[in-house]
């Protein structure tokens, strides 16, 4: 009987080895497939738990494949294409040639984003799989740098719908959340690959369980201890203006009339603040025009504080002419206009050509987008019910930019956006859920007004209290709790990602030095 069992185990072992050998031939396909699987851990899908295991195939490839960078790049490509393909299906009216360029641009952007996972795989290969949480964070933070900055779909955002899992972001931001998720993947991978070594498997299993207990335990305690605060009454205006009408001068007056009528109805709620979306006024409020004055008179007559995105024109001395600026400001109840905030992070190719300030000839490229004026000042408004700041459109996906506003005194984040050109709801939902995590990181609430949705009210713990449907005209009213105080992340936790980057670089250099020494020793022996 024992002999039969031994033979059976050998056969079973040989079958497993045969399966592994076959899988090794298709590592490239496994890399792409696991990236695609990870994309289902983000909005709008409910399968967020995939984030805890989707990296396991990549970790196996890293340990068993010489071409780690290439396979990591394939993984990143498989992750990025499903996440940003909505850019191709957008509803913005484009010339046929521009549409072709847009498809090409998405492919190039996906290939570019894949480079970061390639870098992660290559560095982790040199140091060891145990370093994956640090290296992943170090690579993620690189995506905030340069004019090509696009920190879309950071791993930590996969947990946004589960507030009990996101609260550790108040310590180290979305990047720390990413590190914990990668650590869980590493723990599961190590437990599986060391299944015959019971002690090692148990150790890694306990580490994985410990991380999960820490995340959930910390989140549960923080949410349970949430203090009761005074609340602001807010009204968020969602006009749902079609993209083909938003820039049309022939219907501008009717759109402005409709916006102001919606505001009058919202005033019946007696809100402390009314919020319009990005460029909602359709006119530069700083200009001495009839349309601009109508908004100032509206705020005065209704005794309202109107927080709004505006179109704005700025004279640029460098180019010698005026340039469009995506901006925002506040109209006070006495009908006066506050300081103008100009968007700092411009969308690559949509609002600026990357590096056009370094290479002036790039400013001449026409991609049917704007060469917008770039803002430079962090503005916090004080003449409001609470100090507040703006995040215009995709600025809300930049953790450090938001932290700078809060560090300067902002106690309420007003995200104004126009996601109507995103096309189907995938892009809009991804965008909205990424913005939510800014509240957890900094302990401040957010009110988000979007032209076509999703408009929402979010408390300082990342809990969405109310939200509007997509692609509908709506007025969202409700109460938003006040800020709970500066978090560890706001004070110093933002340094975690930079320390992870520095640690990854140092460990990588040490690994390279050791490798060269081992080669030289081997050469001397030979």
The average pLDDT across 400-411 equals 96
Query: Distance (Å, rounded) from C-alpha 3 to C-alpha 162?
Result: 52
Domain boundaries, the chain: 11-224+495-525, 231-490
The average pLDDT across 79-88 equals 88
Query: Distance (Å, rounded) from C-alpha 449 to C-alpha 240?
Result: 11
Cα atoms in the 13 Å half-sphere on the side-chain side of 107 = 6
Give the angle subtended at the CA of 48 by the CAs of 45 and 51, to the nearest 5°: 130
Query: Distance (Å, rounded) from C-alpha 43 to C-alpha 266?
Result: 30
What pLDDT sits at residue 5? 44
The average pLDDT across 305-323 equals 87
Q: Work out the pLDDT band at 282, boundaries 50, 70, 90.
A: very high
| Residue 254 φ then ψ, to 5° | -70, -35
Pairing of strands 306-316, 321-331: antiparallel
Decide if 288 contacts 247 (C-beta within 8 A).
Answer: no
Q: Which two tokens stand for residue 309?
A: 């995105």
Query: CA 147 → CA 324, 345, 408, distances in Å?
Result: 18, 9, 24
For residue 412, give the H/E element and its range. strand 412-417
Q: Place domain 231-490 in its CATH homologous superfamily.
A: Carbon-nitrogen hydrolase (3.60.110.10)
Query: Distance (Å, rounded) from C-alpha 33 to C-alpha 326?
Result: 39
Query: Distance (Å, rounded) from C-alpha 95 to C-alpha 102?
Result: 10
pLDDT digits (tens, 9 = 90+) for 239-261: 998 876 666 677 899 999 999 99
Query: Distance (Å, rounded) from C-alpha 70 to C-alpha 76?
Result: 10
Residue 236, Cβ neighbours under 10 Å: how many? 29
**Region of 316 on the Ramachandran plot (φ > 0 left; ψ -120 to 50 alpha; else beta):** beta
Query: CA 513 → CA 166, 301, 509, 517, distances in Å?
Result: 38, 72, 6, 6
In terms of Cα–Cα distance, which of 439, 385, 384, 389 is closest to 416?
A: 389
Asked if residue 477 has pLDDT above 80, the reply is yes
What pLDDT sits at residue 1? 42
The average pLDDT across 311-316 equals 88
Pairing of strands 321-331, 446-450: unpaired
pLDDT digits (tens, 9 = 90+) for 146-200: 777 889 999 999 999 999 999 999 999 999 999 999 999 999 999 999 988 999 9
Q: Which two tokens stand for residue 247?
A: 């820039």
């Amino acid at each position: 009987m024992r002999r039969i069992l031994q033979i059976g185990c050998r056969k079973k072992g040989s079958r497993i080895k045969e399966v592994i050998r076959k899988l090794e031939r298709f590592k490239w396909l496994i890399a792409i497939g696991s990236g695609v699987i990870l994309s289902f851990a983000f909005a709008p899908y409910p399968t967020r738990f995939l984030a805890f295991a989707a990296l396991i195939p990549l970790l196996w490839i890293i340990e068993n494949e010489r071409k780690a960078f290439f396979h990591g790049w394939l993984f990143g490509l498989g992750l990025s294409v499903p996440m940003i393909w909505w850019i191709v299906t957008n509803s913005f009216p484009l010339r046929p040639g521009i549409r072709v360029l847009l498809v090409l641009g998405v492919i190039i952007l996906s290939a570019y984003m894949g480079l970061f996972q390639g870098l992660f795989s290559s560095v982790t290969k040199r140091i060891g799989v145990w370093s994956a949480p640090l290296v992943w964070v170090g690579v993620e933070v690189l995506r905030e740098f340069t004019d090509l900055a696009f920190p879309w779909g950071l791993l930590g955002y996969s947990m946004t719908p589960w507030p009990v899992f996101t609260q550790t972001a108040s310590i180290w931001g979305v990047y720390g959340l990413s590190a914990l998720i990668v650590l869980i993947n590493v723990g599961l991978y190590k437990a599986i690959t060391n299944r015959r070594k019971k002690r090692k498997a148990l150790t890694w299993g306990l580490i994985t369980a410990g991380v999960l207990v820490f995340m959930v335990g910390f989140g549960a305690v923080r949410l349970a201890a949430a203090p009761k605060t005074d609340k602001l009454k807010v009204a968020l205006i969602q006009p749902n203006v079609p993209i083909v009408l938003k820039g049309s001068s022939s219907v501008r007056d009717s759109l402005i009339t409709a916006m102001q009528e919606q505001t009058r109805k919202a005033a019946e709620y007696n809100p402390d603040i009314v919020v319009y979306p990005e460029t909602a006024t359709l006119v530069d409020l700083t200009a001495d025009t009839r349309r601009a004055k109508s908004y100032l008179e509206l705020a005065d007559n209704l005794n309202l504080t109107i927080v709004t995105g505006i179109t704005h024109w700025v004279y640029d001395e460098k180019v010698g002419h005026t340039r469009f600026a995506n901006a925002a400001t506040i109209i006070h109840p006495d009908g006066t206009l506050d300081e103008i905030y100009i968007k700092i992070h411009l969308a690559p190719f949509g609002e600026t050509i990357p590096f056009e300030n370094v290479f002036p000839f790039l400013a001449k490229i026409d991609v049917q987008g704007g060469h917008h004026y770039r803002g430079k000042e962090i503005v916090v408004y004080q003449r409001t019910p609470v100090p507040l700041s703006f995040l215009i459109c995709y600025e809300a996906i930049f953790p450090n930019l938001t932290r700078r506003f809060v560090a300067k005194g902002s106690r309420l984040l007003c995200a104004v956006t126009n996601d109507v050109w995103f096309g189907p709801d995938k892009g809009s939902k991804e965008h909205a859920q990424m913005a939510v995590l800014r509240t957890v990181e900094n302990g401040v609430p957010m009110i988000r007004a979007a032209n076509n949705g999703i408009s929402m009210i979010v408390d300082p713990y990342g809990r969405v209290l109310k939200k509007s449907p997509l692609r509908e005209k709506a007025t969202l009213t409700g109460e938003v709790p006040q800020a709970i105080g500066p978090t560890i992340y706001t004070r110093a936790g933002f340094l975690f990602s930079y320390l992870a980057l520095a640690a990854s670089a140092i460990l990588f250099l040490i690994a390279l030095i050791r490798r060269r020494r081992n080669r030289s020793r081997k050469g001397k022996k030979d």
